[in-house]
Structure 1
Amino acid sequence: MIRSTPAIVAQGAVRRLPRTALILLCLAYILPGYFGREPWKNADITAFGYMVELASAGPHDWLAPTIMGISPEVDALLPYWLGAWAMQLAPGWMAPDFAARLPFGLMLVLVLVATWYGIYQLARSPGAQPVAFAFGGEAQPADYARAMADGGLLGLIGCLGLAQLSHETTPALAQLCFTALTFYGLSALSGSLLLPLAAIGAGLTGLTLSGAPAVAVLFGLGGAIYGALERKETGSTHGGRLWRVAGPLVAAAATAALASSLDLWQWRIAPPGTSWREWRSLGRLFLWFTWPLWPLVLWTLWRWRHQLRDLPRNRHLAWPLLFLAVAMGTTLLTPASDRSLLLALPALATLAAFALPTLERSVSALIDWFTLLFFSGCAIVIWVIWVSMQAGVPKQPAANVAKLAPGFEPSLSGLAFVAALAGTLAWIWLVKWRVGRHRSAIWKSMVLPAGGATLCWLLLMTLWLPVLDYARSYAPMVQRIQVLTSRPSCVQVHGMSRGQLAALRFHGKMNTVSAGRAAVCPWLLVDAADVSSLPQAVDPGQWEFHSRVRRPTDRTETILIYRRVAVP
């Protein structure tokens, strides 16, 4: 006889995760990466460059953000608006790049909150409930749903692919935010309608304005189709059934019309090739980017396989599978595969959460030990290399850093050291708590992955932040250009990328002008990869080669500097 659900959960296994501890963990994950660093290449500095241009532009430019007439690769509007508005409203003492990060930090908060409430709503659905015991004692629905949501949120924080992309000021984070908001809205449609419908409308509109109108329409149509199928299996009122179909459908139609009116339908289909190398690279991306969620997702699909045959009755599986299918399809068919895969993380965290009440004790122990060894080893490596950079002992790590980042001078920040030390001590306490004797909770297997990922991200953004900033920022290269050209106010440029242009205008405060025969700037900057096309843009007789500047950590990125020798 097949049980109605594979989850067997007693009331004692759904005890509450302390809210203070959960909030502190989220803050320790969110805040590092938003403070004390420069915009990084490539997507981070590029998106920030468009925000800077909008913040100083007139109203007519807001629907067409450009850098020297070059449109963004991602046809987004809202992320650039938010960054520009934040810079315009920020006080004068606040750095522009930090001000631009503030709305994105709030969006990351919304990702975590919306994912938690989405899982909570799905875990309260009838198909997700654990087996009822003959003499009582099974987990109560509200307590069970809260514990499942805690476990799913911990799994999301522990996901390796979330860390860097969720701390950049790019459209990818905005798309993730509005995907999570839509996920919550569709998951909560079985109960009250006002707040879920508002979340769906805001989520689909935000996705459209963040460069993903096709994804928004697919989510809306999928929600309407599932609402039509689900209403045949539930005893809800006719009005509720109607809104579960009409709400997502109307929102999808409205977002499609909005995208058309703003000319946001720009198709960039790039399916993977047939070579083994491309598919192997894509497979590796799936494996590391979604770790440690994907093994738990596979376990969920196996243990809940009988419920998969009747998805209209099991919305806790249907909704995350819909979001996962759309995100994985987008990953396979678009060039930015990692940023498209980011949209799958709320759904993956939900599916992974439903593996927790079915895990055997041996599997849970295996997860704990692997996580403990992996993240403890990573933390030790980070500390050893930092000590080597500061004290020169041991010598080899510092020598490796000097080789990879020539010209870097280590610096010591007392505040960063205290934060890193506090995070390490918290990790040691967490490990001691986890291996100690205490009552089990279904979210316990996700504590070490979330804590370990937070620890390593905190250490990277405190102890290693100076060297990472030196390696990932354009600031050192721009500073070298300023020294060689005596800080010019006007330079001509040729063949420069969006990120390079943004860096010259932000870090160097340079007025960049496209290379042409009519321009009169005293210096010309050329990307070495496009030097062959330079004679078509300028008169070679008016310029002489002066010097070349390379990024310290990327010898393939070289800027050639030319000095004017004749006035046109």
Structure 2
Amino acid sequence: MLTYTPPESRSPAPTREKPWLLLLLAFAWLWPGIFSRDLWNPAEPAVFTAVEAFLNGAAAWLPTVLDQPYFNVSPVYVWVAALFERLLSPWAADAYSAARFASVLFTAVGLLCCGSAGFRFLGRHQGRSVALILIGCTGLITMAHFLGGQSVVFAALGMCLYGFSLAQTRVIMAALMLGGGWALLSVSAGLLLPAALMLAALGLLAHPQWQFKRYYLTLVGAFAFALPMMLVYPFALFKTDAAAFAVWLHHYAFGAFGGTQSFQTAFSLPYYLKNLLWFAFPAWPLAIWTATRMQLSRQRWGVLALVWLAAATVLLTFSPHRYQDHLVWLLPPLALLGAAQLDGLRRGAAAFINWFGIMAFGLFAVFLWLGFFAMNYGWPAKLAERSYYFSPYYIPDINIMPMLVAVSFTPVWLWAITRKHIRGRQAVTNWAAGVTLVWALMMTLFLPWLDAAKSHAPVVRQMEASLPAGLKTALAEGASCVSVDAGAATARIVWQQYGTLKLRVNDASCAYRLVQQPKGSAIPDGWHLLWEGARPRNKTEGFALLEKAV
């Protein structure tokens, strides 16, 4: 007797794809740049200082830097970074590297949630495509590998997308993920972004694709979970420090837009559109391809992506701060759209993406290898001269382990790009592999060179090495002291991290004074200059050690 088996019940066709390759690529992409370097500007020194303050007993709900409230990083990030530092430092990693594990964790959560949403919305294999597209977006690199709170925002956005994808099948989990994402956004990006996504979730009810009972229940559960959770942070802050709560409410409650007393807007759309070209490539051209191939309004995920993009674009358009990392708000829906028709990408378009990636990343990799030989062996001479110009504090250093890592990445990439029958998914995989190759080479071959240019440690060591032996002894014995202005936050932070001198804040009795000012600035009356320095090519930030005139 013949029976009919519905398509949903049929066994999936066999596939030659290997999921472990995606895991290997994601692992290779996540870890370079986490280890063996100092704190880099602009955010890492302050964020790590906030983590240390928390470990030393500062308030849990209020990140502080030099005893001042610091609202530029989520307390959730500080908690996780402090936990990793406590667990891993110093036996498994140095304190800086251990704290960066928080960025790795939140980025991995975001990738997993976005990939899982792609699987739920688009079907088997497409979750991997979403993750590969995100790994290929260069805008995600810095927030994944540097200390900073944007990785928490990415994780929260991924949770929201995954919550939407679960609404049709698993209501309770969908409500928890969606509501949890909103709550995490409220404490990491201000109240306006989650409010916009909440309104977008309600707006979906107007479309027939989202008018089903399970979604109604999901929304009820998500709001019931999110709203009390979103009140936890302001309530705890008010109870522990009413003055800090007032500062947060008046100036930081709405994230980039300020607070109740400093709310402001501006027209920033041209800035964000320009930076989107590189930040979200190849997500945005693939999303456009999908939009030209099908009617998004007929797909549940298409309606969601359009509404999400509209809500986030409105916020970016009127954002008073032009901060490129805010473009991460657009990445989850763009990656979802980009993966939807990836297998239907025309062979010519796939070949172009593949060819462009091979040329761009291949030439960049060759340049990095040439730069490595130039800065360590002096050849090519012209390139060696430029490398010294941009990082004069660098001392040639060849470490066998980074060399082995760099050498291993290059042939793996060559193997990936020489595969035949390149289609859309293979082209995106090769693109992500190219991004991983270049990032890995930069964070192995170039890491000491970059560290010497971007870290304040060489400047601090240079100043302390220039001190006369007698003055060093007097400072060590407490017979003399160095004062620093309370407002010189960078100087106080970096000397606390890298220096051996104990600076005194606003101590007029000290015969020496460390000032933070551009190199070459005028010296105040009654003082004369002992030393001045700055990070290479930095014309706006410098330091000077002054001695009181007798």
CA contact (8 A) 1:224 1:246 kept: no
Shift of the 452–330 alpha-carbon distance from structure 1 to 2, 3 Å rule, reads: same
Shift of the 161–322 alpha-carbon distance from structure 1 to 2, 3 Å rule, reads: same
State the secondary structure of the residue aligned to 2:540.
strand
Shift of the 565–115 alpha-carbon distance from structure 1 to 2, 3 Å rule, reads: same
Shift of the 450–36 alpha-carbon distance from structure 1 to 2, 3 Å rule, reads: same
Q: Given residue 74 of structure 2, which amino acid in structure 1 is its aligned partner? A: A
Equivalent residue runs for 1:324-363 within 5 Å:
324-332=309-317, 333-363=319-349
Q: Is 1:191 aligned to 2:180, yes or no?
A: no
Give the match for residue 321 of structure 1: 306
Shift of the 357–498 alpha-carbon distance from structure 1 to 2, 3 Å rule, reads: farther
State the secondary structure of the residue aligned to 1:218.
helix
Q: Given residue 246 of structure 1, which amino acid in structure 2 is its aligned partner? A: V
Shift of the 413–324 alpha-carbon distance from structure 1 to 2, 3 Å rule, reads: farther
CA contact (8 A) 2:117 2:162 kept: yes
The structure 2 residue matched to 1:364, chosen from 350, 353, 365, is: 350
The structure 1 residue matched to 2:454, chosen from 459, 464, 472, is: 472
Give me the whole-angstrom Cα distance separating, in 1, the residues matched to 2:180 and 2:310. Answer: 21
Q: Given residue 530 of structure 2, which amino acid in structure 1 is its aligned partner? A: H
Structure 1 range deviating more: 459-468 or 335-344? 335-344
CA contact (8 A) 1:176 1:342 kept: yes
Q: Is 1:408 aligned to 2:399, yes or no?
A: no
Give me the whole-angstrom Cα distance separating, in 2, the residues matched to 1:260 and 1:412. Answer: 50
Task: Give structure 2 stretches of 5+ with no counterpart.
Answer: 1-10, 238-244, 258-263
Give me the whole-angstrom Cα distance separating, in 2, the residues matched to 1:337 and 1:173. Answer: 15
Give the match for residue 197 of structure 2: 219
Q: Is 1:19 aligned to 2:14, yes or no?
A: no
Which structure has more relative contact order (CA 8 Å, sep 6+)? It is 1
TM-score scaled by structure 2? 0.84
The structure 1 residue matched to 2:497, chosen from 503, 506, 530, is: 506
Give me the whole-angstrom Cα distance separating, in 1, the residues matched to 2:14 and 2:132. Answer: 15
State the secondary structure of the residue aligned to 2:452.
helix
Q: Is 1:284 aligned to 2:270, yes or no?
A: no
Give the match for residue 397 of structure 1: 383
Give the match for residue 178 of structure 2: 200
Shift of the 182–378 alpha-carbon distance from structure 1 to 2, 3 Å rule, reads: same
CA contact (8 A) 2:532 2:543 kept: yes
Task: Give structure 1 stretches of 5+ with no counterpart.
Answer: 1-10, 124-144
Q: Is 1:445 aligned to 2:427, yes or no?
A: yes
The percentage of counterpart residues that share the same residue type is 23
Shift of the 199–531 alpha-carbon distance from structure 1 to 2, 3 Å rule, reads: farther
Q: Given residue 30 of structure 2, which amino acid in structure 1 is its aligned partner? A: I
Give me the whole-angstrom Cα distance separating, in 1, the residues matched to 2:179 and 2:522. Answer: 48
Q: Shift of the alpha carbon at 1:302?
A: 2.2
Give the match for residue 68 of structure 2: 70
Q: Shift of the alpha carbon at 1:16?
A: 5.1
Kindly provide the CA deviation profile for residues 476-520 of structure 1, in whole angstroms up to 9, marking residues without a partner as x: 112123223549576432375544432221122554443254xx4
Give me the whole-angstrom Cα distance separating, in 1, the residues matched to 2:361 and 2:488. Answer: 37
Give the match for residue 548 of structure 1: 532
Kindly provide the CA deviation profile for residues 320-376 of structure 1, in whole angstroms up to 9, marking residues without a partner as x: 333333443443404252121123222221111123133222211111111111111
Shift of the 499–220 alpha-carbon distance from structure 1 to 2, 3 Å rule, reads: farther
CA contact (8 A) 1:115 1:153 kept: yes
Structure 1 range deviating more: 210-219 or 369-378? 210-219
Shift of the 499–340 alpha-carbon distance from structure 1 to 2, 3 Å rule, reads: farther
Equivalent residue runs for 1:87-166 within 5 Å:
87-93=85-91, 94-123=93-122, 145-166=123-144
Give the match for residue 151 of structure 2: 173
Give the match for residue 261 of structure 2: none
Give me the whole-angstrom Cα distance separating, in 1, the residues matched to 2:195 and 2:395. Answer: 50
Kindly provide the CA deviation profile for residues 291-322 of structure 1, in whole angstroms up to 9, marking residues without a partner as x: 22221122222222x333x5xxx221122333
Shift of the 55–395 alpha-carbon distance from structure 1 to 2, 3 Å rule, reads: same
Kindly provide the CA deviation profile for residues 147-203 of structure 1, in whole angstroms up to 9, marking residues without a partner as x: 222222111111111112211110111111111122211222111123222222332
Give the match for residue 29 of structure 2: 29
Give the match for residue 559 of structure 1: 543
CA contact (8 A) 1:356 1:445 kept: no
Q: Shift of the alpha carbon at 1:82?
A: 1.9
The structure 2 residue matched to 1:523, chosen from 502, 508, 512, is: 512
Q: Is 1:294 aligned to 2:284, yes or no?
A: yes
| RMSD, aligned α-carbons | 2.9
Give me the whole-angstrom Cα distance separating, in 2, the residues matched to 1:155 and 1:23. Answer: 14
Give me the whole-angstrom Cα distance separating, in 1, the residues matched to 2:518 and 2:349. Answer: 52
Give me the whole-angstrom Cα distance separating, in 2, the residues matched to 1:340 and 1:82. Answer: 22
Aligned residues: 509
Kindly provide the CA deviation profile for residues 58-116 of structure 1, in whole angstroms up to 9, marking residues without a partner as x: 4xx22222222333252632112222233234444442112211222111211211111
Give the match for residue 8 of structure 2: none
Give me the whole-angstrom Cα distance separating, in 2, the residues matched to 1:555 and 1:235. Answer: 58
CA contact (8 A) 2:103 2:143 kept: no
CA contact (8 A) 1:324 1:347 kept: yes
Give the match for residue 133 of structure 1: none
CA contact (8 A) 1:74 1:211 kept: no
Q: Shift of the alpha carbon at 1:427?
A: 0.8
Give the match for residue 365 of structure 2: 379
The structure 2 residue matched to 1:307, chosen from 296, 301, 319, is: 296
